[in-house]
């Protein structure tokens, strides 16, 4: 990302699906004009999920991409965490994971209780090997996972843990999918999903500390 960008600070969240959270200020609950001071802006449309869009500003040219979100709706900024609900607010990137990339805020490495080498080798693989729906299908994060932490310090059910025998991490994120037809729909466990082409550009462009603003003009749950 461009040097000198004002980067936001703080912690992160989670749900069993690996997605979900809340935080930010109420102003973020209403969509604002796309602004190049943000690395990524995402605007959700609860009534017409296929109109939900994101913009990445630090690609060679601004990249517009479609997004999906939580199957139970959109949470107002600062509201209580619930599984399956996508929070509005301002977030910072605190980890970038894929089969070939591992970048993580050092404080998260410490919290994990694992070495960076072990996390690099196993974390994303283990996370993406979990069958969340119990239908035998894995790989639901697609080719990568960009973890987001709320800028405002907020109590959250964040934790590293073991689920179904796999060491994993409960957080809120932008991630890929094993089925691009799920993008543009309200079907996730709370995270933002994107298609594989968009995810590839995000993984190659986004850096730790970059800011992501998620907003909506749709009614939100409080």
pLDDT at 23: 33
Cα distance between residue 134 and residue 146, in whole Å: 24
| Predicted pLDDT of residue 26 | 40
Note the pLDDT tens digit of each residue in 83-134.
899 999 999 999 999 999 999 999 999 999 999 999 999 999 999 998 877 7
Rounded Cα distance, 215 and 222, in Å: 14
What are the boundaries of each domain within the chain? 26-216
Low-confidence ranges of the chain (pLDDT < 70): 1-38, 59, 80-81, 153-158
Q: Which CATH number describes the domain made up of 26-216? A: 2.40.440.10
Distance CA 67, CA 171 (A): 18
Distance (Å, whole) CA 219 – CA 64? 24
pLDDT of residue 159: 77
Under 8 Å CB-to-CB from 91, ≥6 apart: which residues? 8, 23, 24, 148, 149, 150, 151, 172, 211, 212, 213, 214
What pLDDT score was predicted for residue 99?
96
Give CA–CA dist 108/38, Å, rounded.
23
């Amino acid at each position: 990302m461009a040097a000198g960008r004002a980067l936001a600070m703080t912690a992160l969240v989670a749900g069993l699906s690996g997605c979900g959270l809340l935080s930010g200020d109420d102003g973020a609950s209403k969509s604002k004009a796309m602004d190049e001071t943000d690395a990524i802006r995402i605007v959700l449309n609860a009534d017409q999920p296929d109109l939900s869009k994101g913009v990445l500003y630090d690609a060679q040219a601004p990249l517009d991409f479609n997004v999906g979100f939580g199957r139970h709706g959109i949470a107002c900024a600062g509201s209580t965490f619930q599984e399956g609900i996508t929070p509005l607010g301002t977030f910072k990137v605190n980890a970038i994971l894929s089969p070939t990339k591992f970048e993580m805020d050092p404080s998260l490495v410490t919290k994990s209780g694992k070495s960076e080498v072990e996390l690099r080798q196993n974390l994303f693989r283990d996370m993406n090997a979990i069958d969340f729906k119990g239908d035998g299908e894995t790989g639901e994060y697609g080719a990568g996972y960009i973890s987001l932490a709320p800028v405002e310090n907020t109590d959250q059910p964040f934790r590293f843990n073991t689920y179904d025998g796999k060491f994993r991490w409960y957080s809120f994120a932008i991630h890929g999918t094993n089925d691009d037809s799920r993008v543009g729909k309200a079907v996730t466990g709370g995270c933002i999903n994107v298609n594989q082409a968009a995810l590839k550009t995000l993984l190659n462009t986004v850096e730790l500390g970059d800011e992501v603003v998620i907003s909506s003009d749709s009614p939100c749950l409080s």
